[in-house]
Amino acid sequence: MYRMAPAPARVLCFLIPALIAACGGGSGSSSGGEAPATATVSASTSTTDTTSAPADQPTTQRDAVRLADQASFGPTEALIAEIRSAGAAKWIGQQFDAPASRYTRGGTSAFHQYTGSGNFCDNRDANCWRDWASNQPLLWDFYRNAVGNPDQLRQRVAFALGQILVVSNREVDGTYGLRNYQNALLDGAFGNYREVLKKVVLSPVMGDFLNNANNDKAAPNENFARELLQLFSLGTCLLNADGTPQGGSCRPTYDNQRVRAYAYALTGWTYPAGGATAWGCWPEGTHCRYYEGDMVPAARYHDTQERTLLGGAALPAGHTAPQALEAVLDSLMQHPNIAPFIGRQLIQHLVTANPSPAYVQRVATAFTSGRHLGIGSGQRGDLKATVAAVLLDAEARGETPGATAGRLREPVLLFTGVLRALRGRTDGDALGWWWGEQMRQHVFRAPSVFSYYPPDYPLPRTALLGPGFGIHNAGSALARLNYVNSVVNWGGVAPSASIPDALGTRVDLSGFEADAADPAKLVDRFSLLALGAPLPSAARTAVINATAAFTPSSSGADYLKYRTRTAAYLVFAAPQYHVIR
Amino acid sequence: MSKPNPPLMMQRRRWLQLAGGTLASALGTAGLSGLMLAPRSAYAADYKALVCLFLYGGNDGMNTVVPTDATRHGQYSSVRGALALPRSSLVGLGGTDYGLHPSLSALAGAWSDGALAPVFNVGPLYRPITKAEYRAADASSSLVPDSLFSHSDQQALWEAASTDALTRTGWGGRAAEVLNTTNPVISLGSGGGRFGLSSLNAALGLPDPGQNFGVDGHTAADLGWAPVAARKAALDTLYAQAQDNVMLEAYAQQQREAFATSQRLAPIVQAQPGSAAASALIDQAFAPLIVNGQLSTPLAKQLYQIAKLIANNATVQGNRQIFFASQGGFDTHGNQIAYGNALQGTHAGLLKQLGDACAAFHQAMKNLGMGPQVTLFTQSDFGRTFKPNNSSGTDHAWGNHQIVLGGAVKGGATYGTYPTLALGGPDDVGVDSWELQGRWIPTTSVDQYAATLLRWFGADDGQLGAILPNLGNFSQRTLGFL
């Protein structure tokens, strides 16, 4: 295999028949005879060996920055160099094997073992609520990990999954429980979607968030069952494999009877043992609230009647709660909706808000077949295969995304992107209650199970969807610029004594100052880092002029520092930075 | 049924939109409205404001407005069980057979003013539908609104006054466009979903009192220094360029508008209670909700902002303005009430915040002498099941009761038709044993509700038809509460 510059993969696949197998074409591919559009071609991928690394396939600056924006929390000069020399496929393979981040900070399960007459935080320090009940310790870990840890892709995928399979500290307290939930998403990000879904169904945190803990067969509530179908697996409308609605308009995936059938089937789960309160555990036959471990069956509350699940799957009478759970999960995994419904959202979270139907279909195929370019276990729901399909698709790779490509750089990725690019550090604290709330993306505190914004939010004045625009308005538009200003021009946020291992939130521009004597060079360096390409001509000139306006006579010995700040501010404030393409 | 053709005014707007975003940028801050025909003077120099208050999650209307006559309260109590509010606890709506949840006691004054009215059993409808028609309809029939019982879809249907969940505009946005208001819908809090979207604009989303609303580092004083002025010039250049990517251009255009809007509105937006730019008349009205100089609830902050923007309408510009505020947390599947006490708990807490903030807002409008010029109205995803579940909560339903508030409201009466309180009865969607929860088929549509508000706001029949495409399916266009 010789090294070559990346070329449109379709061209390669037609011109070089020997590579068609590696292109994923041939028998068994549900995309028919057309070679699927992937940008990497490697003869070393075999269909069974998922551990042999693809060969190096150097790529361009622009493509590397695109991949960094898709698969990490933002490009750094070092990461760009890594991706440029390895190429997308090899880098992604390395990311699959990178040591995994975890959440570790915050209180323990003692939070739900308090048997005093008041509240757990009585007679504890002023930070008790923050450290034992709230999402803050997780948020600290999230941002530290996102800015500095090497398993960037795993974290991005877990972050995406966490915006589909939502729990929120707005309605559920207990740091240790939220931590267990988010760790499960990190652990499962490269596993199988069925396993992730099972952990979610059995999570006592989810059991409280959507009221399935202690759900009673005598009159079950419908909350979890409905959102399991609507948000976590299938969606409300029947879909073709390419994500478009069957029949061209919304034909319901399920009706209320089906929701109630699932609600009944999912009754009879209670918290794991270990919790305690001053008044014992109620109702009878259940455990006290406790978030350490999975929910356990509470047979007396489990409805055992026959239920017809989706896809005609039957759940014969006399079942136990665990048997019903397996039947529920099987019915969802087998439903034709799940691959496009989940696949499309992963594309939206990682790459672009308006994927072509063909792109969605290619990703759905990877989800269904469990394999993509030799990556994956071959089991339906394989997330490695799905993620590889998302990132290696022609619509994700290359130099020239189309006029309708792109996604808004959501606030979390703005926060981390600027910090990573500009060699910054954070303990996360300023990015939750302050910046996170201002821009309406406070991690682990989504407003509801519907996450921060809907996947189908319309972008006004266009025919496109713009999910991120659901939390974007005049106030947040200016806040974006003000965040960049805060860290670049105003020194960021100083470390606070009340935060363990405090770092504050700040960037380090000193390594860029060396190029400040040449404003054009400086501006281009920031542009290549942030955008993968220089700014458009008129914009570039204006930014260079603004950078050059700081001279020894205007600003004394610090003029190079001010030039560096100005160039960084303008590049990271540019619209090209905020809409990722 | 096909939608009626939009009137000529809307078609002209669309043409200008297609002509290119650069046209808007060439016009600078005034946007496209300056090019439109002069507004027809059905409304003249007077000022009117509509305030949409969206209760996200699905407010339990059945415990918000409750029958007080012995028979129906008996039926109510027997089905509601532990969730039933005792008759004696209700805030009586004198002259009617209804009372409000006790947590809404702050609104008793508005009722005595004749400024409050409940509107019963409102929901998305394509046209009036009987229970038999509903049950006979195919799952994909256009007669049945899309995805009933789904939060996101029902929010979209209420916000859009539509039965098609893919509608890309909201009725507030369409009203602003058709009525040619100076500003788009102004939204506070977490934003308006689709309500304020029009084909030309997103809603203008503004921050809470005290929050920064401007570009840091570019104050007038800062700009006196040449390097900072050069930096601002570069920023403007970055955003002035037309972009060849659709999303990028839309983003840049929104940013240009944000720059312009912040210059005009920042002082008003930022004013906190007691500050120099605040209004004493508004502060007095909100005094019960001001703690240490700050508004004490999220809804109070939003309504306080709206009150300021109404008081300062000369700076905000325009004599017709639609606002959007919201309150979340209403999805009470479990623990809707406190253990053993229906008067306390989650729903009670939400309604207390609602009632107190709305009462303060109403008082502020009275203090400003603008009571009859401002109408506040609620919307919500859907009502909740009449019959509770075993988690001390309720599940998703359909028709719901709303509240309208303002000096122009023909209060002291109720509107719409209260459902028959029978599980599986004529108003309940269900007949099967598994579906006897009391989910009411609406007897009044969102379109009729919105038309009543918009007619008062100044829309004529043609404009109503353009804003509310399904309105023609209902023989009674307006409901009489304004």
User: A residues 407-436 near B, CB within 8 Å?
Assistant: 407-408
Interface test with B, best of A255, A257, A277, A461 (most B CBs within 10 A): A461
Please say whether the beta carbons of A363 and A390 come within 8 A. yes
Q: Mutate one of B17, B238, B253 to test the A interface: name it (highest A CB count within 10 A).
A: B238
Q: Where are the alpha helices (DSSP H) in A335-473?
A: 338-350, 357-369, 383-392, 411-421, 435-438
Chain-chain contact of B149 with A575 (C-beta, under 8 angstroms): no
Q: Could you tell me which chain B residue has the CA closest to the CA of A211?
A: B334
Count the neighbouring beta carbons within 10 Å of the beta carbon of residue A184: 22
Q: Maximum CA pair distance of chain A?
A: 86
Any CB–CB contact under 8 A between A523 and chain B? no
Longest Cα separation, chain B = 78
Q: Give the span between the Cα atoms of B365 and B409, in whole angstroms.
A: 13
What does the buried/exposed string (b/e) look like for B330-353 if buried means 16 or more CB atoms within 10 Å of the residue's CB? bbbbbebbeeeebeebbbbebbbb
Distance from CA of A319 to the nearest CA of B (A): 19
The answer to whether B435 and B429 have CB atoms below 8 angstroms apart is yes
User: Is the CB of residue B397 less than 8 Å away from at least one CB of chain A?
Assistant: no
Q: Three-class SS of residue B289?
A: helix
CA distances from B5 to B463, B466, B476 (A): 11, 8, 21
pLDDT, chain A, mean = 91
Instruction: Compute chain B's Rg from CA coordinates.
Output: 23
Question: Which residue do the tokens 């070089």 mark?
Answer: A16
Nearest chain B alpha carbon to A451: B152
- Interface-testing mutation among A222, A229, A351, A414, with chain B (most B C-beta atoms within 10 A): A222
| H helix or E strand, kind and range, residue B122 | strand B116-123
User: Which residue is closest to B260 within chain A, CA to CA?
Assistant: A474
Closest by CA position to A265, among listed A230, A316, A311, A227: A316
β-bridge pairing A425-426 and A505-506: antiparallel
The span from the CA of A275 to the CA of A280, in Å, is 9
Q: Which of A535, A521, A516 is nearest to A573 (CA)?
A: A535
The answer to whether the CB atoms of B201 and A438 lie below 8 A apart is no
Sort out which chain A residues have CB atoms less than 8 A from B391's CB and list them.
Answer: 211, 214-216, 220-221
Round to whole Å and give the CA distance between B185 and B54: 14
**Partner B contacted by A545 (CB < 8 A):** yes
CB contact under 8 A, B214 and A578: no
The list of chain B residues with pLDDT below 70 reads 1-45
pTM of the model: 0.89
Q: Exposure pattern of B251-271 as b/e (b: 16+ CB <10 Å)?
A: bbbbbbbbbebbeebbebbbb
Concatenated DSSP letters for A37-69?
-BS---TT--SS--SSPPPP----HHHHHHHHH
pLDDT in tens, B141-197: 999 999 999 999 999 999 999 999 999 999 999 999 999 999 999 999 987 789 999
Question: Can you tell me which residue has the tokens 């915040």?
Answer: B353
Looking at residue A52, what is its pLDDT?
56
Q: Which residues of chain A carry a pLDDT beneath 70?
A: 1-53
Asked if A554 and B231 touch (Cβ cutoff 8 Å), the reply is no
Angle at A397 between CA A395 and CA A401, to 5 degrees: 55
Query: Tokens 């989504």 correspond to what residue?
Result: A446
Nearest residue to A481 via CA among B63, B256, B433, B82: B256
Report the gap between the CA of B408 and the closest CA in chain A (Å): 31
Q: How far apart are CA B337 and CA B83, in angstroms?
A: 7
Q: Tell me, what's the pLDDT at A260?
A: 95
Contact B215 A481 (CB under 8 A): yes
For residue A213, give the chain B residue with the closest CA: B391
Residue B48 bridge partners (DSSP):
B320
Element (DSSP H or E) covering residue A297: strand A296-297
pLDDT digits (tens, 9 = 90+) for B96-148: 999 999 999 999 999 999 999 999 999 999 999 999 999 999 878 999 999 99
| Cross-chain residue pair A219–B231, CB shorter than 8 Å | no
Q: A164 vs A452, B57, B168, B337, CA distance in Å?
A: 10, 18, 22, 29
- B165 in contact with chain A, both atoms CB, cutoff 8 A: yes
Cβ-defined contact of A236 to B140 (cutoff 8 Å): no
CA distance A343 to A341: 6
Return the pLDDT at A531. 98
B416 within 8 A of B441, measured Cβ to Cβ: no
β-bridge mates for residue A529, sequence order: none
Q: What is the ipTM of this complex?
A: 0.90
